[in-house]
Amino acid sequence: MIEGKYTVEKDLRQQLVTYSKWLSRLGFTPGTSGNLSVRLNRECLLVTPTGMSKRMVRPDDMVIVDLHGRLLAGSRNVTSEIGMHLAVYDRRPDVQAVVHSHPPIATAFACSGRSLDETLCQESVMTVGIIPLARYATTGTDEVAASLSPFLANHDAILLENHGAVSYGKSLEDAFMKMETLEHIAHVALVAHQLGSPRPLRSDQIERLNCAKATYQQNAISISAPPFSSSNTTGTSSQPTTELLVHQNER
């Protein structure tokens, strides 16, 4: 059992490195900005440390914190923005991973006081939907959690006024792809308005897309459902936490 937990933690540390580097390559985490986290088990999170370029992080740099943000293990310090992550996990028990970054075009919308609330392309309906704008909050303070609170239940990606964006999902891959899609939607919106002729989808078109989305999600669940059940365990069914997480994060 201990070996299994170690394997899961090792895998999640490597995933944090992988998606940190992808965010850096995309230009979403300049300097030491941005942070990522993933549930390690019911009691704690694995998080990127403060003060490091996401291009340069290594598996051993990650820190473990409890659900109050207190450092439990690791040689580096916890990010000052851990409160943002904790707010998401607290309100969304279905969420397994959180990504915070500064994608430039989406951040420009946030710095202009604009949400991404126009449904201009089918992709936005099929993925993250409307992306709201959380009011300005000083980074590293309790204000951030309060500003996110109105949107957490019904949205999977949020712009942060004069700051950046946060996305979250069932795995690090899912949270990362939502952040990537958020920036794509911002780029489309910017160019459509520069062209001077944005044409948002009609309500009937959005309704049909929502039906298509529901079908797609059901098919995806059927294909990716892991072969996990209590009958496959060897006397450890009462402790499914990390074993279940590794299935979720391999999707």
Nearest to residue 17, comparing CAs of 29, 3, 6? 29
Query: Are the beta carbons of 198 and 118 closer than 8 angstroms?
Result: yes
Give the position of tokens 């490597």: 14
The answer to whether 165 and 110 have CB atoms below 8 angstroms apart is yes
The Cα-based distances of 143 to 18, 110, 130, 168, 222 in angstroms read 30, 17, 23, 19, 40
Record the tokens describing residue 190, joined without a space: 């910017």
| Distance between CA atoms of residues 122 and 180, nearest Å | 16
Pairing type for strands 157-160 and 133-134 reads parallel
Q: Which of 3, 9, 43, 81 is catalytic?
A: 81
* 173 classed as catalytic: no
Residue with tokens 């294909």: 223
- Residue count (the chain): 251
Q: What's the CA gap between 244 and 103, in Å, rounded?
A: 31
CA distance 184 to 218: 25
Catalytic residues: 81
